[in-house]
């Protein structure tokens, strides 16, 4: 278990605004995702835990060991913290071969044990054939696997991963995800993963903290946060929703229903406890939960008649952009069956609507 309470302030500079990191988090076994845009404090949090940055205030505990305590002026150096750090830019020494990079990370071991452990890591991460190459001679995937192998050689008590899939193509990303799942299975320890990619968070994360401007604004499982973003700002930050301004026209708790006005349209919803008729709210819905069908004339009750502006048809899915920046994602075969239609009715199942108070 790692527990961290951190505060670190940076004053405004000639070309930068003032910034303050003020967070409190815990992470147990499994992957805890630090999710948010660049500049929100995610990597700074990792650097404070690793000892590369010294917080102004707070406390960092790894199991029962104090890594940092502002009140008692405890600040262990990075090499004493046993944090395995996988950097975004790999941070392999360019003048060393990959094997030499790994041997450097295992320098505290005796020669025979060090060579044995390094060879095992090269074999485990399918790098034995490139161990004699320098970093500039390796592919992005090989450098990333080498960076993970190096982090594990020091027998860390926590694994810190800063955007590990940055710059990798889709195939290499999936290979990396498989490797990280194996690492979690074979080396059980807390892992903190920094990312701004929601798919990556859903793929790897057990828990997630959403960062915004130096604060944690929502925590939970990745799926739980996605299903119920805590505010309009969080929903916008996640970047996957249609956000709709709506007015509640009717509420029926007995039938678990509501009626909502969105622009010129009236659509059904579920009952929303704690809200009143006439309340103005924001609705969010994932594009993949939207239903689309051809229409002739007026849109049927409970649907919206929207103008289709653009279509991107992929191998399996078609992405549709409607007027008002409303997006839908449907199966490729469904789109092909309606591609010649001129007008469309858009339906949002009531259960797909997530209500965020404006």
Same domain, yes or no, for 164 and 299?
no
Instruction: Tally Cβ neighbours within 10 Å of residue 10.
Output: 14
pLDDT for the residue 106: 82
Length of the chain: 358
Q: What pTM did the predictor assign?
A: 0.84
pLDDT for the residue 88: 81
Evaluate whether residue 67 is within a structural domain.
Answer: yes
Same domain, yes or no, for 265 and 214?
no
pLDDT for the residue 358: 56
Same domain, yes or no, for 311 and 200?
no
pLDDT for the residue 140: 84
pLDDT for the residue 337: 92
Same domain, yes or no, for 286 and 196?
no
pLDDT for the residue 169: 84
pLDDT for the residue 357: 63
Same domain, yes or no, for 211 and 248?
no
Same domain, yes or no, for 194 and 267?
no
Same domain, yes or no, for 148 and 99?
yes
Yes or no: say if 23 and 213 are a contact pair by the CB < 8 Å rule: no
pLDDT for the residue 321: 95
Residues (pLDDT < 50) of the chain are: none
3-state secondary structure the chain: CEEEEEEEEECCECCECCEEEEEEEEECCEEEEEECCCCCCHHHHHHHHHCCCCCCEEEEEECCEEEEECCCCEECCHHHCCEEEECCCCCCCCCCCHHHHHHHHCCCCCHHHHHHHHHHHHHHCCCHHHCCCCHHHCCHHHHHHHHHHHHHHCCCCEEEEECCCCCCCHHHHHHHHHHHHHHHHHCCCEEEEEECCHHHHHHHCCEEEEEECCEEEEEECHHHHHHCCCCHHHHHHHCCCEEEEEEEEEEECCCCEEEEEECCEEEEECCCCCCCCCCEEEEEECHHHCEEEECCCCCCCCCEEECEEEEEECCCEEEEEECCCEEEEEEHHHHHCCCCCCCEEEECCHHHCEEEEC
Same domain, yes or no, for 139 and 287?
no
Which domain does 302 fall in, by range? 241-357
Same domain, yes or no, for 163 and 309?
no
Q: What is the CATH number of the domain that holds 50?
A: 3.40.50.300
For 154-169, b/e burial (b = at least 16 CB within 10 A) is bebbbbbbbbbbbebe
Same domain, yes or no, for 267 and 138?
no
Same domain, yes or no, for 160 and 213?
yes
Same domain, yes or no, for 35 and 128?
yes
pLDDT for the residue 47: 96
Evaluate whether residue 236 is within a structural domain.
Answer: no
Q: How many domains does the chain have?
A: 2
């Amino acid at each position: 278990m790692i527990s961290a309470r951190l505060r670190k302030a940076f004053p405004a500079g000639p070309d930068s605004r003032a910034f303050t990191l003020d967070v409190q988090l815990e992470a147990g076994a499994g992957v805890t995702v630090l999710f948010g845009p660049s500049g929100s404090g995610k990597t700074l949090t990792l650097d404070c835990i690793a000892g590369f940055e010294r917080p102004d205030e707070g406390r960092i505990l790894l199991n029962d060991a104090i890594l940092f305590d502002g009140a008692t002026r405890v600040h262990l150096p990075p090499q004493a913290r046993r944090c395995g750090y996988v950097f975004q830019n790999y941070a392999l020494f360019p003048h060393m071969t990959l094997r030499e990079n790994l041997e450097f990370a295992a320098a505290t071991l005796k020669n025979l044990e060090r060579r044995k452990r390094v060879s095992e890591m090269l074999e485990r991460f399918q790098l034995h054939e490139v161990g004699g190459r320098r970093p500039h001679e390796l592919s992005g995937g090989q450098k990333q696997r080498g960076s993970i192998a190096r982090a594990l050689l020091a027998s860390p008590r926590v694994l810190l991963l800063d955007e590990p899939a940055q710059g990798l193509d889709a195939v290499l990303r999936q290979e990396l995800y498989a490797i990280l799942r194996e690492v979690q299975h074979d080396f059980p320890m807390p892992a903190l993963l920094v990312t701004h990619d929601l798919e990556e968070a859903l793929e790897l994360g057990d828990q997630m903290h959403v960062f915004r401007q130096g604060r944690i604004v929502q925590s939970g499982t990745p799926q739980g946060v996605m299903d119920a973003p805590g505010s309009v700002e969080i929903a916008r930050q996640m970047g996957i929703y249609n956000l709709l301004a709506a007015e509640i026209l009717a509420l029926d708790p007995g039938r678990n229903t509501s009626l909502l006005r969105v622009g010129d349209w009236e659509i059904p919803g579920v009952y929303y406890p704690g809200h009143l008729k006439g309340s103005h709210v924001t609705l969010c819905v994932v594009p993949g939960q939207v239903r689309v069908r051809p229409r002739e004339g007026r849109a049927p009750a409970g649907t919206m008649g929207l103008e289709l502006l653009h279509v991107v048809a992929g191998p399996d899915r078609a992405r549709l952009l409607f007027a008002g920046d409303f997006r839908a994602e449907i199966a490729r075969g469904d789109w092909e069956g309606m591609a010649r239609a001129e007008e469309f009715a858009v339906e949002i199942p009531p259960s797909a609507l997530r209500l965020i108070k404006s």
